[in-house]
């Protein structure tokens, strides 16, 4: 069994998840870099962590698929023998970004499967394992971090399914926080604003303009490492008397101004 804490990051191959993997790897966590379709990108993250003196492994599988979730946990335990941290980061945007009056069930199913059903049941699986490990004193406690979005509280009419999954992640965070506190497992939501990644590459010009106009007070794009620093703070016990909280990493976008 690894002597170091072990973190499983879903969607760790690119964007925000990649930033979280690198930050946790540099901070001394053993990291499981999950990916869905891009083993090349996941391997590159593993290499970078190795070069920095850390230890990581890439594991493929879709969070939306029950068998893949089981394999993800099994491979984590095979490789490292424990799990201390789960970061539910993997997520996709609305398919085709269609107006709510034209939105499709196909997009709904795939977005809800990846953004909500996947994290909910992966959390259930991992939480049961953490409870078992805490019971046998092989780990002292656990942390679960859910990556939601400003779309949890700010609607986009062309991404209804996406927005609803992100609102539900907030409720899921509170549900698991309540249930798992007695075991010493803290559950948190991180709510990023607009962050540079492949997901936002297609809307870069729009956001460049909105940022220049001052849509949020800190006038720049968010970066994956902005989110990663918040995740590290949460998992490294900087908030020992907190659980179920949401931390905004959005340049102040959530502030209402009159």
Ligand X SMILES: NC(=O)c1ccc[n+]([C@@H]2O[C@H](COP(=O)([O-])OP(=O)(O)OC[C@H]3O[C@@H](n4cnc5c(N)ncnc54)[C@H](OP(=O)(O)O)[C@@H]3O)[C@@H](O)[C@H]2O)c1
Residues with catalytic roles = 162
Site residues for ligand X, window 191-250 (CB under 6 A)?
192, 194-195, 197-200
CA 63 – CA 44 distance, rounded (Å):
21
CA 81 – CA 7 distance, rounded (Å):
12
Residue 67 CB, nearest distance to ligand X (Å)? 13
CA 24 – CA 33 distance, rounded (Å):
11
x/- binding map, residues 152-191, to ligand X, per CB under 6 A?
----------------------------------------
Asked if residue 36 binds ligand X (CB under 6 A), the reply is yes
Asked if residue 10 binds ligand X (CB under 6 A), the reply is yes
Asked if residue 146 binds ligand X (CB under 6 A), the reply is no
Asked if residue 76 binds ligand X (CB under 6 A), the reply is no
Q: Of the listed pieces 21-29, 32-40, 94-102, 175-183, which binds ligand X according to CB under 6 A?
A: 32-40
Asked if residue 90 binds ligand X (CB under 6 A), the reply is yes
Task: Report the SS3 class of residue 41.
Answer: helix
CA 198 – CA 203 distance, rounded (Å):
10
Asked if residue 21 binds ligand X (CB under 6 A), the reply is no
User: 92 Cβ partners below 8 Å, 6+ apart?
Assistant: 110, 111, 114, 115, 162, 199
Residue 196 CB, nearest distance to ligand X (Å)? 7
Q: Which is nearer to ligand X, 185 or 191 (CB)?
A: 191
User: 6 Cβ partners below 8 Å, 6+ apart?
Assistant: 29, 30, 31, 32, 76, 80, 82, 83, 84, 85
Residue 24: CB atoms within 10 Å: 27
Q: Compute φ and ψ for 126, nearest 5 degrees.
A: -70, -40
Site residues for ligand X, window 91-130 (CB under 6 A)?
91-92, 114
From candidates 32, 41, 125, 187, binder to ligand X by CB under 6 A:
41
Question: Which residues lie near ligand X (CB under 6 A)?
Answer: 10-11, 13-17, 34-38, 41, 62-64, 89-92, 114, 147, 149, 192, 194-195, 197-200
């Amino acid at each position: 069994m690894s002597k170091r804490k072990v973190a499983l990051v879903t969607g760790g191959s690119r964007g925000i998840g990649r930033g979280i993997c690198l930050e946790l790897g540099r901070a001394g966590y053993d990291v499981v870099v999950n990916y869905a379709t891009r083993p090349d990108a996941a391997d590159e993250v593993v290499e970078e962590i190795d070069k920095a003196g850390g230890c990581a492994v890439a594991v493929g599988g879709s969070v939306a698929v029950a068998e893949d979730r089981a394999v993800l946990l099994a491979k984590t335990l095979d490789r490292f023998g424990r799990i201390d941290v789960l970061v539910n980061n993997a997520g996709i945007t609305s398919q085709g970004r269609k107006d709510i009056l034209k939105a499709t069930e196909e997009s709904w199913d795939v977005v809800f499967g990846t953004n909500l059903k996947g994290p909910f049941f992966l959390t259930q699986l991992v939480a049961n394992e953490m409870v078992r490990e805490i019971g046998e004193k092989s780990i002292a406690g656990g942390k679960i971090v859910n990556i939601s979005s400003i779309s949890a509280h700010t609607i986009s009419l062309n991404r209804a399914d996406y927005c609803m999954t992100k609102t539900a992640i907030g409720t899921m965070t509170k549900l698991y926080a309540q249930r798992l506190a007695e075991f010493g497992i803290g559950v948190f939501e991180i709510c990023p604003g607009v962050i540079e990644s492949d997901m936002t590459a297609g809307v870069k010009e729009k956001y460049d303009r909105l940022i220049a106009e001052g849509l949020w007070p800190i006038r720049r794009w968010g970066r994956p490492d902005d989110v990663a620093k918040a995740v590290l703070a949460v998992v490294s016990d900087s908030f020992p008397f907190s659980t179920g909280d949401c931390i905004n990493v959005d340049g102040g976008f959530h502030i209402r101004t009159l």
